[in-house]
Amino acid sequence: MDAADSPAPSPEGAENLSGPDIIAGYVKNLPGKPGVYRMFGADGEVLYVGKARNLKNRVANYAKSGGHTNRIALMISLTRSMEFVVTATETEALLLEANLIKRLKPRFNIILRDDKSFPYILIRTGHDAPQITKHRGSRKAKGEYFGPFASAGAVNRTLNTLQKAFLLRTCTDSVYEGRSRPCMLYQIKRCAGPCVGLIEPDAYRALVGEAEAFLRGKSNALREDLSAKMQAASEALDFERAASLRDRIKAIASVTTDQGINPDGVEEADIIALAQEGGKSCVQVFFFRAGQNWGNQSFFPRHEQDADPADVLSAFIAQFYDDRPAPALILTSHALPDGELIAEALTLRSSRKVTVHTPSRGEKRKLVAQTRRNAEEALTRRMSESASQAQLLKGVAKVFALAEPPQRIEVYDNSHIQGTNALGAMIVAGPEGFTKNHYRRFNMKPEDVVTNDDFAMMNAMLRRRFSRMLKEQGEGAPVPDLVLIDGGKGQLSAARAVMEELGLTDIPLAAIAKGPERDAGREAFYMDGRAPFKLPMNDPVLYYLQRLRDEAHRFAIGGHRAKRERAIRDNPLDGIPGVGPSRKKALLAHFGSAKAVRGAALSDLEGVEGVSKAMAKRIYDWFRDA
C-alpha cells in the first residue's frame, strides 16, 4: 500500500472553533486522492474512521452546515482534530478502513463485535506421517488448512468422520515419537498406525491425499474410486479389506448427506444475510466448503438505530474478512452499493477472484432466504434475552449501589492444586450476556508469585490485567463498571491493594463468598464501606451473580485441567538440546519409556546407538538439574 500516516495538527485556535469550522480548516490542504480519514474528540478518542475516493470532497461535505443526520451532526460537533492516510486506490482505502475500525472500534462506526477466530482443519505436512488436527489462530504451522468451520463442535464432528474415513493420526509429534505399540485409536479403526509401521509410508501418504481431495470437494470421485476398490477386494475374496472400504465409504457419505441446508450448486461460498428489528441487527453467516455446509454463526454488529441495512452489511463484510480468507463467492441478502469495490478489495487481499452477489432467483436465492430466516430467529431470541438481561443489570446496580446498570462486569477466579499448574481467569458479562471473546486466562509461574497463596495470585492477576489496561487506554481498552471477585474479605483486600496502587479507586469492587458448607443461596457479599450482606434466596439477581461466579469457576477449572493434562502428556525428552526425533526414537527403543530414560545411569545412556558420550552427559545432567 502506497500510504503513510499524515498526522494533521488542529487548526490554530481550534479550542474556540466549532466542529464544522475545525474540519473546514483541513480541507484546503487535502489532495483529491483516495484515502482514509480519522476524526478525534477533545480527549483524543477516535470518533470515526472513514474512506473516500476523493479525500478533499468527502471531508468538505462534513464542513457544510446542514443536511446531516442527527448522528453525523453530533459526530461533527464533537470533532476536534483529524488525521489522514493517502492511498494509491480506493480499494486500498477500503482495506485500511476495515483494519482501523476493527482495531480502534470508533464510537460512530458500525462495529463487528464478536471478532473471534474460526477453527480450521489442518493437515500438517512437515512430518513423514502428516497429522490431522483442529487449528485456531495464526497459520504458522506448515500444512494444508481447510475451513473455516462455524464452531469447534462442527470441526470435531468432521474430524471424527475423517478419522473413520481416512485413518489419519491425530496425536502430537511427541506422542507419535514415543509410541512402541499402537494406541486405542488403531484398535477401533480410527488410525492406520503409522507410528509403529503398521502401514507403509506410501500407503499412508495416499490416505492423506484422499483426505485432502475430500476436503476440497472431490467426494463423489473419491467414493466412486473406493467403491471400485471395495468391489475388487470382494471379488478377490479379501472380505476384511472390503469391509474396511465399506466403512470408509459410509463415513464419507455421513458427512455429505447430513447438511441441514441444501448446498446443491454451491461448492465454496459464504451466505451472509441480515435481519433488522427495533434498531438492532443480526448477521447470519453460513459457511459452505467442498460442497458441504460447515456450519453457521450469528453476529450482532454495533451501530446507530437508524443504520441502513446495506451499510451495516457492507461494514460487516469488510471487517469480517480483514484477517481471514474470503471464499470465491459471497452471497448477500441485500444489494451492496459498494459491492464491486468490496469484491475488488477481497480479490486483492486473497490473490484470487472473489465475487460478491445478491441472487434474485434459483437455488442460491433459496439459500439466502433460509439464511435470513435464521438471522430473524436469532435476532428475536437475542432481543428477548436482552430485555431480561437489562432487568438483571438494573438489579445488580441496585445491589452494589452503582450509578447506572453496568455495561461490563469482570469476574475473577483462580485455580491450582497445592500450587501446581496455577492459573487465574477473568470472564466478562454485560447487556448481551457473556462476552466470551473477552475472556482471559493468566498463567501463574512459581518464580513470579506464590502459587499456593490465593491472595497473592489474585493480586498478581489483577495487577497484570489493570496495568495492561492503563497502558492501552489510548487504544480503547475496555474499563469494567464492576469487578467481582470469587472469594471473601481477604480476596477483596488483595484486589483493593492493587487498585489503590494503580490509582483505579473509582472502579467498584465486590467479592462473593460461598455460604456455609458451600451452599448456593447463602453467599455473602463484601464491599468497601459496607457490612457483609446477603440477598434473599429467591432473588433473581442472586441467581444471576451465582451464574457469573460459576462461569468464572468453570473457565478457571477448565484452563487448569488443560494445563495439567498438557504437563502430563508432554514427553520429558522434549526440550533437551540436541535430542531430535531420531535420538528420541533411539532412546525410547533402548529403554522402553521416557521415565526409564530419566532414571538411567550415565553408562547406560552412553550405550545407546547414536548417542555420544557428550550427548549422554547432557541428557543425564538435564534430568538431574530439572
Check if 269-381 and 409-567 are the same fold. Answer: yes
- Of the chain, the end-to-end C-alpha distance in Å amounts to 50
Domain ranges of the chain: 5-104, 120-257, 269-381, 409-567, 581-625
Cis status of the peptide bond prior to 148, with omega within 30 of 0: yes
pLDDT at 5: 46
DSSP E strands, 11-64: 35-40, 46-52
**CATH topology classification for 409-567:** Nucleotidyltransferase; domain 5 (3.30.420)
- Right CATH number for 269-381 from 3.40.50.620, 3.30.420.340, 3.40.120.10, 3.40.718.10? 3.30.420.340
- Cα–Cα distance measured from residue 269 to residue 259, given in angstroms and rounded to the nearest whole number: 15
Instruction: State mean pLDDT over 30-55.
Output: 92
C-alpha cell at 158: 468432521
pLDDT at 100: 92
pLDDT at 451: 59
pLDDT digits 0-9 by tens, 392-410: 999 999 999 999 999 999 9
In terms of Cβ atoms closer than 10 Å to its own Cβ (0-12, 13-18, 19+), residue 419 is middle
Instruction: Using a pLDDT cut of 70, give the percent of the chain over it.
Output: 87
Residue-by-residue DSSP string for 545-589: HHHHHHHHHHHHHHHHHHHHHHHHHS-TTTT-TT--HHHHHHHHH
pLDDT band at 4 (very low <50, low <70, confident <90, very high): very low
DSSP E strands, 127-193: 131-135, 143-146
- Residue bearing the bigger pLDDT, 566 or 377: 377
pLDDT digits 0-9 by tens, 604-620: 888 888 888 888 888 88
- Residue bearing the bigger pLDDT, 97 or 17: 97
Instruction: Using a pLDDT cut of 90, give the percent of the chain over it.
Output: 33
Name the CATH superfamily, with its identifier, for domain 581-625. Answer: 5' to 3' exonuclease, C-terminal subdomain (1.10.150.20)
pLDDT digits 0-9 by tens, 260-307: 454 566 778 999 999 998 888 999 999 888 777 888 888 999 888 888
Q: What are the phi and psi torsion angles at 281 (to 5°)?
A: -130, 150
Report the relative pairing of strands 433-434 and 440-443 from DSSP bridges.
unpaired
Domain 5-104 is of which CATH architecture?
Answer: 3-Layer(aba) Sandwich (3.40)
Strand partners, 70: none
pLDDT at 7: 42
Is it the case that residue 350 has pLDDT exceeding 90? no
pLDDT digits 0-9 by tens, 482-491: 999 988 888 8
Strand, helix or coil for residue 283:
strand
